[in-house]
Amino acid sequence: MKKSRLRFIAPIAVVTALVLAGCSTSNLGGTAEADPAAEAGPIKIGAVLDVTGVGASLGVPEQNTLNMLAKQLNDDGGIGGRDVELIIIDNQSTEDGAAKATSKLIESDQVDIIIGASRTGPSLAMRPIAEAAKIPMISVAANVAIVEGSEWVFKTAQNDVVVLERILDDAEAKGYTKLALVRDATGFGEGVADYITELGAERGITLVTTEAFEPSATDFTPQMTNVRGSDADAVIIWGINPSAGLAQKAYMQLAVNKPVYHSHGISNQAFFDAAGESANGVIAPMGRLLVADQLAADNTQRKVIEQFQADYNAAYGEQPSGFAGHAFDAWHIAVNAIDAAGTDADALRDELESAEWTGISGVFKMTAKNHSGLDASALILAEAEDGRWNLLKD
């Protein structure tokens, strides 16, 4: 008996040890002083993206975009005659992977600027490393916490707060007073409930229930069952794909029968791939990329968006997503700043703080206080219908 028990436990202990060994990773540690960048040789731009793991639907198009833009730039002669070397590291959608990649880019690759990460959690893990090493970093993720009070960190995705304002304005106009929230359990969904409570107070809207899901989740029955049983007038699902798309599917299949809003985290084809017909009727704030064909002819962003769509489609045979747009904007803001100020870190940072750029996700205007540069005007409201987005309100 004793022996048989041991025989059973031993292999399990080994499996556990192996799995843990695979997960744990040693941090490189230490903050080697970045080499004072010589103003010669290639300019090094590092990127840390969620290419595999739960953020893959974000990281893959971002990686495509950066590769395409780096090639275009070098074909045109680089920046001031200097070639640009792009180094992309996959953080596997993990916080420790992002931190390790950032340390490597700074210490061994000695990059001049870092783009990334794709999601809030990994971006927050990168921030202190970039701040300590005094290397400019441009995140392509959403949560405003990434840049709040930062000195060296900027971001290009629209802030979660302005997205929520847009949703709550619409909810108020439609007379909804009670909302339910089903949110991503990681960094992207952090603080969303607090913002709704805070921003809702002035609009007479209260949050009646909050449910959370992991981005790797596949079954959403428990969350949707609880939402169905609540007295909410409308529901906000806050996540990225595929989980947000699967949540939407479960929402329809479980017949919750309340109007539903999503965040800008779903502005890609993966949403329709995961949700299918269940996506019809979803309202979400997002950048103008996915409704470019419906914009007014004189819209300032229209030209840059259409050029980007044509280039991306020619290179990869598919339409770019909103996330590709965030990477596009980060790249151009970085390259323009290097063009103007060179690769000296302090000069580059100061240049970024006055960056202005008419891009995919909006018209950016960075300041020393605002490292995100976008306001609510960067967002439109769109409604999903049969696999495409219809512009509701510009």
- CB–CB of 278/249 below 8 Å? yes
What's the closest the beta carbon of residue 393 comes to another protein, in angstroms? 31
- CB–CB of 391/295 below 8 Å? yes
* Residue with Cβ nearer another protein (130 or 236): 236
Q: Which residues bind to another protein, rule: CB under 8 A?
A: 1, 4-5, 7-12, 14-15, 18-19, 51-53, 56-57, 59-60, 185, 211-214, 216-219, 221-223, 225-226, 228-229, 242, 246, 249-250, 253-255, 270, 273-274, 276
SS3 332: helix
* Residue with Cβ nearer another protein (72 or 216): 216
Instruction: Write down how long the chain is.
Output: 394
What's the closest the beta carbon of residue 181 comes to another protein, in angstroms? 13
* Residue with Cβ nearer another protein (10 or 201): 10
What's the closest the beta carbon of residue 85 comes to another protein, in angstroms? 24
What's the closest the beta carbon of residue 213 comes to another protein, in angstroms? 6
* Three-class DSSP labels, 235-264: EEEECCCCHHHHHHHHHHHCCCCCCEEECH
Strand-pair category, 43-49 with 153-155: unpaired
Give the E-state strand segments of the chain in sequence order.
43-49, 84-90, 113-116, 137-139, 153-155, 178-184, 206-213, 234-238, 260-262, 283-286, 356-358, 363-365, 380-385, 388-393
What's the closest the beta carbon of residue 331 comes to another protein, in angstroms? 21
What's the closest the beta carbon of residue 10 comes to another protein, in angstroms? 7
> 114, 123, 129: which is closest to 142 by C-alpha?
123
Query: Cβ of 114: how many Cβ atoms within 10 Å?
Result: 31
What's the closest the beta carbon of residue 272 comes to another protein, in angstroms? 12
* Residue with Cβ nearer another protein (19 or 201): 19
Q: How far is CA 214 from CA 131, 230, 392, in A?
A: 29, 21, 30
* Residue with Cβ nearer another protein (255 or 314): 255
* Residue with Cβ nearer another protein (152 or 251): 251
What's the closest the beta carbon of residue 269 comes to another protein, in angstroms? 10
**Helix, strand, coil distribution of the chain in percent, nearest 5:** 45, 20, 35
| Sheet strands side by side (includes 137-139) | 84-90, 43-49, 113-116, 137-139, 153-155
CA gap 245, 268 in Å, rounded: 10
* Residue with Cβ nearer another protein (14 or 32): 14
* Residue with Cβ nearer another protein (15 or 132): 15
Q: Which two tokens stand for residue 281?
A: 């009727």
* Residue with Cβ nearer another protein (235 or 246): 246
* Residue with Cβ nearer another protein (116 or 242): 242
What's the closest the beta carbon of residue 49 comes to another protein, in angstroms? 11
Q: How far is CA 185 from the centre of its chain?
A: 15
> 302, 310, 298, 304: which is closest to 331 by C-alpha?
304
- CB–CB of 170/283 below 8 Å? yes
What's the closest the beta carbon of residue 59 comes to another protein, in angstroms? 8
